[in-house]
């Protein structure tokens, strides 16, 4: 299966369902404001359910049962297909190619890797290569005559520097042993 072209919200929902079969309410609880994923990338409950519908339509997840609920109708439980799990694993290891998407997509990937107990080192290493390529491209354009274009390229270069500092912080934190409580 070729990697599906999905919006970020659908990738996140798919990655969470790929961890273990789940229902929309449980996924929405993880992506709610202030929740583990939602604190950094919020996905509304209606968007979670729309994403599930689209993922079912694309054959990436499938209903595998239902769970009784004391707060309404039964909750349908979904599981990711084998090919969808493979696609998620590849997506989680692929660096973000557009500077604009680093804040949302890269942080989401790092959060999802942490949930899996997977090291972010490979992704961080690959992301550094992409950041270097973006910086090289911007540096080639930063000396244009147009003052506004020059200012925009300077702004983008600051984003590159910020992204590099972020990667440095992630890399340092990923080398520290996990602290277990309780």
pLDDT at residue 119 is higher than 70: yes
CB atoms within 10 A of CB 37: 22
User: Residues 120-149: what's their mean pLDDT?
Assistant: 93
Yes or no: is domain 8-93 CATH 1.10.10.10? yes
User: Residues 32-53: what's their mean pLDDT?
Assistant: 95
The domain spans of the chain are 8-93, 99-175
Give me the pLDDT at residue 24, please. Answer: 95
The DSSP line for 5-33 is ---HHHHHHHHHHHHS-EEHHHHHHHHST
pLDDT at residue 106 is higher than 70: yes
Average pLDDT, the chain: 91
Percent of all residues in the chain with a pLDDT value above 90, rounded to a whole number: 80
Q: Which two tokens mark 110?
A: 């790092």
C-alpha 17/C-alpha 24 separation (Å) is: 9
What are the residues whose beta carbons fall under 8 Å from the beta carbon of 67, sequence distance 6 or more? 23, 74, 75, 77
Closest CA to 80 of 134, 144, 6: 6
What is the reported pTM? 0.88
C-alpha 76/C-alpha 68 separation (Å) is: 9
User: Residues 93-119: what's their mean pLDDT?
Assistant: 94
Q: Any alpha helices (H) in 20-63, and if so which ranges? A: 24-31, 45-57
User: Residues 94-123: what's their mean pLDDT?
Assistant: 94
User: Residues 98-118: what's their mean pLDDT?
Assistant: 94
pLDDT at residue 134 is higher than 90: yes
Give me the pLDDT at residue 176, please. Answer: 52
List Cα–Cα distances, 51 to 60, 66, 167, in angstroms. Answer: 11, 18, 29
Annotate 67-82 with b (16+ C-beta within 10 A) or e (fewer).
eeeeeeeebebbbbbe
Higher pLDDT, 45 or 68: 45
Give me the pLDDT at residue 182, please. Answer: 40
C-alpha 35/C-alpha 123 separation (Å) is: 24
Give the model confidence (pLDDT) of 56-105 as tens digits. 999 999 999 998 877 778 899 999 999 999 999 999 999 999 999 999 99
pLDDT at residue 174 is higher than 70: no
Please return the burial class of 116, using the count of CB atoms within 10 Å of its CB with bins 0-12, 13-18 and 19+. Answer: middle
User: Residues 150-164: what's their mean pLDDT?
Assistant: 94
């Amino acid at each position: 299966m070729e990697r599906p072209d999905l919006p970020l919200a659908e990738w996140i929902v798919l990655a969470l369902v790929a961890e273990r079969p789940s229902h929309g309410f449980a996924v929405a609880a993880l992506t709610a404001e202030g929740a583990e994923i939602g604190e950094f990338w919020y996905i509304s409950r209606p968007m979670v359910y729309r994403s599930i519908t689209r993922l079912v339509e694309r054959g990436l997840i499938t209903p595998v049962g239902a769970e009784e609920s004391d707060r309404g109708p039964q909750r349908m439980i979904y599981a990711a297909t084998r090919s969808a799990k493979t696609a998620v694993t590849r997506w989680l290891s692929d660096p973000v190619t557009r500077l604009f998407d680093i804040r949302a997509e890269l942080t989401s990937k790092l959060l999802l890797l942490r949930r899996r107990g997977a090291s972010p080192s490979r992704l961080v290493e690959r992301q550094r290569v992409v950041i270097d390529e973006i910086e090289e491209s911007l540096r080639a354009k930063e000396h244009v005559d147009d003052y506004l274009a020059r200012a925009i390229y300077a702004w983008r270069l600051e984003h590159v520097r910020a992204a590099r500092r972020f990667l440095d912080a992630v890399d340092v934190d990923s080398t520290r042993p996990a602290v277990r409580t309780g």
